[in-house]
Amino acid sequence: MWLWLACAAEPNTSDTAPEATISWAADVQPMLSNYCGGCHGDSGCTTGLCWLDSYDTVVGETNGGCASSVAECIPIRIEDGTMPQGGGCPPGEPGCIEPFELDQVKRWIDAGMPR
């Protein structure tokens, strides 16, 4: 368990070179704004759910306890079908997040959630 965690935390520079530059501001935030901005962005969020436009909130807080940060909760909630709220928008469906975009979120988390 501990060994696995240690390994998972190692930066892998060999096969993740293109993702080395992935960032919240340039990649993840604009992409999630398309799908989640209506409820989690500055324009449409209710108190406690306004993580989309704040890096500090998305990496540093959690309301639901699904993971240790909102960021880590994002792929979990998409994959279990509870986000976007109400379900009915599985990855790859028209108008829903694309599977490669979901992978991008995961790679960003694995990369240590760079700002």
Among 20, 63, 68, 80, binds ligand HEC (CB under 6 A): 63
Examine residue 84 and tell whether it contacts ligand HEC (CB under 6 A).
yes
Burial of 21 (0-12, 13-18, 19+ CB in 10 A): exposed
Q: Which is nearer to ligand HEC, 59 or 70 (CB)?
A: 70
Q: How far apart are CA 107 and CA 112, in angstroms?
A: 9
31 binds ligand HEC (CB under 6 A): no
Residue 68 binds ligand HEC (CB under 6 A): no
Task: Write down the least CB distance from residue 9 to ligand HEC, Å.
Answer: 22
Interface residues with ligand HEC (CB under 6 A) are: 32, 35-36, 38-40, 49, 62-64, 66, 70, 73-74, 77-78, 82-85, 97
